[in-house]
Amino acid sequence: MEKQEHQPKEEQAEPDGMLYHYTDQAGLFGILQSGEIWATHFRFLNDLSERQGALDLFLQIDRMLAGDSQMSPAYWEAVRESLKMLGQLVDAYFVSFSEDDPASDSSGDRLSQWRGYALSRQGFSLGFDAESLRSSADRLTQELKLATLLLPCVYDNESKESAAREIIRKHSDALAQIANERVKMKTLESERMIDSPNWKREFKELQSSFLAFSSSFKHFGFQEENEWRFVAYFVSGVSNIESVHFRDGAFGRTPYIKLPLRLKDQHSPLRRIVVGPSPNKEQIAVSLGLELTKMGITGIEVAPSKIPYRNW
């Protein structure tokens, strides 16, 4: 499949094992019955500061490095203003997963996650094969005009700053070279530099890098979750409104998009379901296995939690 122009070209990381999505019973059967998982608009996530924090750090590093660039301050100010606008306008939608050590007994079975996402109700974690999940997501690119990413969250400040420096140095050097070449050739007035094809192409690469960086940005207080994110955004920069749906949520009417999982296909990304801690987890696992068979969803391992926690 041909890659969309906004799709980041940086090589994407790969998780070591399966990725788990924790939810309650209503969430589980919503996914199983519809064959879809919902990606929520980034402005309706729990940590409202994520995108702004990424932008603030990005612009802070940018100002520190601007003096090393041969590009004029006026050009850099145009870059900054465009990035600020990008952070406000791009509609990105997230699905959260948690990565566990595949050799660990706690894979898909962490008490902190049950407490955080089952909300004192019967919980389930759905284990997805990352490669198949990425393949399923790639099919959306043409169907809904979406670009997709699957990436780990970055929590520590040193790693965030290092990533921001690398992105800015790489693209500022390229933009400065383009600007200098155009000025020397005198083929375009300097104030119209941002309209040149080479400049536009490189700036789109910078925008894509910033999108990936800001989507992985997470406060260190959440690091125990070891989160990976499936990120989808509309390549036009504006949502295809017919693909956006709304549900009642903690922060009001919440926009989301539906991501098909093709659960009845042979190559479905869903591979495992863990039944969360409860006095009846073994019975629930048996019942769930029968229900999956009746739905025509096969090849799914169903396992009760190993955590001896009986009451919420």
Kindly report the backbone phi and psi dihedral angles of residue 192, in degrees, each rounded to the nearest multiple of 5, phi listed first. Answer: -100, 15
The overall average pLDDT reported for the chain is: 81
pLDDT interval class at 8 (50, 70, 90): very low
Assess whether pLDDT exceeds 70 at residue 194: no
Assess whether pLDDT exceeds 60 at residue 238: no
Looking at per-residue pLDDT, the higher value among 14 and 312 belongs to 14
Length of the chain: 312
pLDDT interval class at 9 (50, 70, 90): very low
Assess whether pLDDT exceeds 50 at residue 10: no
Q: Per-residue pLDDT averaged across 13-27, rounded? A: 88
Rounded Cα distance between 85 and 79, Å, is: 10
Q: What is the pLDDT of residues 52-90, one digit of tens each?
A: 888 888 888 777 766 666 666 766 777 777 777 766 667
Question: Which pLDDT score is estimated for 5?
Answer: 39
Looking at per-residue pLDDT, the higher value among 185 and 213 belongs to 213
Assess whether pLDDT exceeds 60 at residue 237: no
Question: By the 8 A CB rule, do 89 and 237 touch?
Answer: yes
Q: Which one-letter DSSP state was computed for residue 193?
A: G
Q: Per-residue pLDDT averaged across 236-253, rounded? A: 80
SS3 at position 232: strand
- Kindly tell me the burial class for residue 179, based on how many C-beta atoms sit within 10 Å of its own C-beta (0-12, 13-18, 19 or more): buried
Count the alpha carbons within 13 Å of 150 in the hemisphere toward its beta carbon. 19
Q: Which of 19, 90, 35, 22 is nearest to 295 (CA)?
A: 35
Q: What residue type is 155 in one-letter code? A: Y
* Domain boundaries defined on the chain: 19-304
- The alpha helices in the chain, defined as continuous H runs, are 25-34, 50-66, 73-89, 111-117, 130-138, 140-144, 157-185, 197-216, 281-295
pLDDT interval class at 182 (50, 70, 90): low
Name, in order, each residue with C-beta under 8 angstroms of 3's C-beta and a sequence gap of 6 or more: 9
Q: What is the pLDDT of residues 35-49, one digit of tens each?
A: 999 999 988 877 767
Q: Quick one: tokens of 13?
A: 């990381």
